[in-house]
Chains A and B, each alone.
Chain A
Amino acid sequence: MPLVELVNVTKRFGKITALNRINLSVEDGEYLCILGPTGAGKTTLLRLIAGLLEPDEGEIYIDGRKVNKVPPEERNAVYMFQNYALFPHMNVWGNVSFGPIIKEWDQKRINDVTSEVLEMVRLGERKNAYPHELSGGMQQRVALARGIASGARILLLDEPFGALDARLRVNLRTQLKSLVKDQRLTAIHVTHDQEEALMVSDRIAILRGGRIEQVGSPQEIYTNPKSIFTISFVGGANFFEGVVSRVNKFGSEIELRGGLRIHVSDRSRNVGERVVVAVRREHISLGKSRRRGFNNLLGEIEDVMFVGGSMEYMIKLENDMTLFSRTLLKGSSTPLRRGEIVIISFHPGECRVFEYPRRGLLKEIEAI
């Protein structure tokens, strides 16, 4: 039985529908990321689960019990704000023992639980420090400890790394995940950072404009995106607009602007249908010779960008379309230069074909 389940949940603020018929279930012990752009309704979703908001329609179940009207304190789901909301007028000990004290456990149990949890997050020695005296990472650990000590089984994390600098963020991701897993907690983690979501979660739910676009494991989301939005939001891709000109048993042929033709393995589209073909940057290779069985197009390198371990090239095709290609930088290889004419090749199997969106491609990719 799933631990948290949302059935047809809708939430409106005045005329704006923040969440529209959301169905989502989270298993016990799972680490779920809700990934979406700003304004997608991620925080609203989290606040609904925490009980800080009430849904207008639909039901929320925790542990099989309908909790629509249950106040936050009876849900065992602790909400962690971006800046952790450590009570500024209490020290570390006071913050961590807040839950046990408020739940009126006996004194011995309060002390035992608090010191045990503090040891667990390696903050036993800082128990008399006040929140403002701690580093960002320590504050996060105190917030986690406070949640665990209160007996919560569900952690609701609202952009937990938003307030930290980039380096610390990467370190803390793994720390957070291992703590959650060690304590057998269930975590629902809201973020707009796709890299973060791919790295920490067991499953990802893509949220956009108040609707769930896709739910799946990180690999599934990355390799098998169900929509143009998902592929562009997670990882990004090159998009070709075109019309299906031929379908045979090996795949289909798509005619692009300017008469260029590319082959794709997908055979599900009909001739004459308007489509968008997406190819990931890393699946596009550049070379001097044509490759058999690949799509081969001619282009000129417009710009070269060095991004850490790889090179990113901006290429102009014959039909004036612009493409991006990312290649790993290997020891001996010399990067291509601006103005060079190259052959761009990508495999038909790496092409994903989508129906042409009604609102237009640009609107569809827009992160709203």
Chain B
Amino acid sequence: MAWKIIGINLSGIVISCTLIAFLIFVVLPSFYLISYIFLRWDEVWYEVFANPITGDENWRQIIMILLFSFKLSLSAVAFDLVFGVPLAYVLARKKFPGKNLLEDLVTLPLVIPTSGFGFATLITWTSSSGLSRLFGSTRLLSMNTAIPLINVPFILFIVHVALTFPYLVRTVETKIQSIEETYEIASRTLGASSLTTFRKVLLPLSIPGIFSGSVLAFARSLGETGATIIVSGVSTTASIAIVRWASEFKLSTAAFMGSLLVLIAWIMILPVEIYVSKNRRSSWRHLHIPTNLSMKIIKFERFLSRKLSIVKDIVPLIIVVILIIIPVVVVISSVTLYWSADPYTGRVEGGVVYQLFGPSRYLDLILRATLTSVIVASISTYIATCISIPLSFIIERRRYGHVLRTMLKVPLIIPTSSLGLSVLLLWGASGLCLVNSGIWMIILTHIVFSVPVIVESIIAAYEGSGVQMYEETARTLGANAYSAIEAVSLPLIKGGIFTGFILSFTHSLGETGATLIVMGRDTTIPVLVVNMVEALAIPAALFTSTYLIVLSLVMLVIIRILTQG
């Protein structure tokens, strides 16, 4: 019986240690950020609203920047919805050769370091070695060419679309997959055309998925930093503003903006969370359409279904090609173009080789940044995994688990620069004063968003493999609680743990926004790309971006293999 007494204590210790680590590392920073505003309200008031020199200039800037960010994010999500939902449907329902490849391509922006991707897009559209080579002009677009009506720079818009697209597509795809195909078959055999079926059957059923996908995409767009900082030109988004203010030591203004973003994210997400969790089927009932009009719509849809069935398959595909494949190809081809010398001026100084090995010694920087990135990614992912495994078990088995799971959504939806700022404020000189900016603070920051990523992956594996049943069987066969977990549960969810590990490792390798704020003098590779672009060392940036993209492609292949095997 002795082990039992120890056993009970042991499980108590494991649970409390996990929960404490979770609260301190993951939850505390974002709460601290908001409380910072209240604790130091005087400072915030002074800096934002009542500066003796500039008055409330900062406040007016905040409003302007927020409005711009909202416009950008909303238009990106709107675009995602129009083209992402059909693509999600195609991916969820159709089987065709190359489907896996298409799925990987859509997921690529999730894996690819955003600063590298942003740079690739920039090169593609605005430089002479990009798409303009096809059309013969020297430059297709300028960095600030705006889209009419919404007045958002084109480059910024397409980067945000590409980076948010996977969130919407994958969420809706999963939702559609969970809806039985029988409903659609029933509707079709009852005489509805495919478009009518989609509108009247599939769409109402997948509304929760579309909602949560849009919210994720919106939050992602609002918080995007790495690519935005490269392509934004003169425009400023909210997350970039935070980075800039933090680097100018305007901590109070940055914190104020950061907590505004956190609050806005929450205000947008909570209703959707509640709506989705109530699992209501449809909110369209109040939408009354007169019968003769709806007859016309149905007739029109029947006509369209016949004519346009290919369009719905092809258009999203073209968008994927334009937004994702072309930039990747262009950046890789540009490296070869710029390899030995600048192709236009013929100067050796403008070549990749010279910049890497020449007097500026960018190779050294790249190698050092790689080392930093790998160390950060390894340590933060390792610690996050250690917290995540017991945390996932607690979430699955304890009654308060769903509360923990909702708390885990915080780091996923708040802008990364706010997240970095919160870690800086909590652990840094103005907070607990335990850690200085630098590699250790980067690690602390990366733990925050790694835990949710790994936990989600483990929970998916846990719920998909019927762990509880196997574990109970093991118990009745004579295994105690710990050996049952060791011999049965852990091997069963092994795949989920590995996938989570790789995902979080990749995420950590590519993170820019938060890292920029907390890095101090240490640099990771994505930040290095930003620095190179700012220093106008384009060939070096090309090389580093390619290097990052190749690295993330390798990761993607590993994920593919793991999730299939």
Could you tell me which A residues sit within 8 Å of B by CB distance?
Answer: 50-52, 71-73, 75-81, 85, 87-89, 98-99, 102-103, 146-147, 150-152, 156
Contacts and interface: CB of A to CB of B under 8 A. Distances in A.
Interface string B471-513: 0111111111101000110011000000000000000000000
B469 interface: yes
A152 B472 CA distance: 15
19 contacts: A50-B472, A51-B475, A51-B476, A71-B4, A71-B481, A72-B476, A73-B475, A73-B476, A73-B480, A78-B477, A81-B469, A85-B473, A87-B492, A98-B477, A99-B477, A102-B478, A150-B477, A151-B478, A152-B478
A98 B487 contact: yes
Interface residues of B, number: 20
A87 B478 CA distance: 15
Given A71-B4, A71-B480, A102-B487, A89 B475 contact: no
A65 to B, nearest CB: 13
B470 interface: yes
B478 A150 contact: yes
Contacts of B477: 73, 78, 98-99, 102, 146-147, 150, 152
A71 B475 contact: yes
Q: Which 10 A-B pairs have the closest CB atoms?
A: A72-B475, A79-B476, A85-B473, A150-B477, A102-B479, A99-B477, A78-B476, A89-B491, A73-B478, A72-B476
Given A85-B469, A85-B470, A87-B470, A156 B488 contact: no
Interface string B364-407: 00000000000000000000000000000000000000000000
Nearest to A85: B473
A77 B478 CA distance: 9
A270 B488 CA distance: 63
B542 to A, nearest CB: 46
B479 A77 contact: no
B487 A88 contact: no
B555 to A, nearest CB: 25
Contacts of A85: 466, 469-470, 472-473
Contacts of B469: 81, 85
Which of B470, B472, B478, B488 has the most chain A CB within a 10 Å cutoff? B478
Nearest to B465: A88
Interface string B1-43: 0001000000000000000000000000000000000000000
Contacts of A103: 478
B476 A156 contact: yes
Interface string B70-108: 000000000000000000000000000000000000000
Contacts of A76: 478
A189 B78 CA distance: 57
A99 B478 contact: yes
Given A71-B4, A89-B492, A98-B487, A79 B473 contact: yes
A153 to B, nearest CB: 12
A319 to B, nearest CB: 43
B476 A50 contact: yes
Contacts of B481: 71
Nearest to A102: B479
B229 to A, nearest CB: 45
B157 to A, nearest CB: 47
Contacts of A87: 470, 473-474, 488, 492
Contact of B483 (A77, A89, A102, A152): A102
A141 B481 CA distance: 26
B561 to A, nearest CB: 18
A91 to B, nearest CB: 13
A73 B487 CA distance: 14
A122 B491 CA distance: 28
B479 A88 contact: no
B481 to A, nearest CB: 7
Which of B473, B474, B477 has the most chain A CB within a 10 Å cutoff? B477
A272 B50 CA distance: 94
A160 to B, nearest CB: 13
B113 to A, nearest CB: 35
A77 B84 CA distance: 53
A216 B466 CA distance: 36
Contacts of B4: 71
Interface string B433-474: 000000000000000000000000000000001100110111
Contacts of A152: 476-478
Contacts of A73: 475-480
Nearest to B476: A79
Contact of B473 (A51, A71, A81): A81
Contacts of B487: 98, 102
Contact of B475 (A52, A146, A151): A52
Which of B4, B474, B483 has the most chain A CB within a 10 Å cutoff? B474
A152 B473 CA distance: 12
A76 B488 CA distance: 19
B472 A72 contact: yes
Contacts of A98: 474, 477, 479, 487
A75 B476 contact: yes
Which of A50, A78, A87 has the most chain B CB within a 10 Å cutoff? A87
B479 A52 contact: no
Contacts of B465: 88
A87 B465 CA distance: 10
B205 to A, nearest CB: 27
B472 A52 contact: yes
A322 to B, nearest CB: 34
A304 B92 CA distance: 49
Which of B465, B473, B480 has the most chain A CB within a 10 Å cutoff? B473
A50 B477 CA distance: 10
A81 B474 CA distance: 11
A25 to B, nearest CB: 20
Nearest to B488: A87
Given A73-B477, A78-B473, 4 more contacts: A51-B475, A76-B478, A85-B470, A87-B470
Interface string B417-436: 00000000000000000000
A102 B477 CA distance: 9
Contacts of B473: 78-81, 85, 87
Contacts of A51: 475-476
Contacts of B472: 50, 52, 72, 79, 81, 85
A84 to B, nearest CB: 8
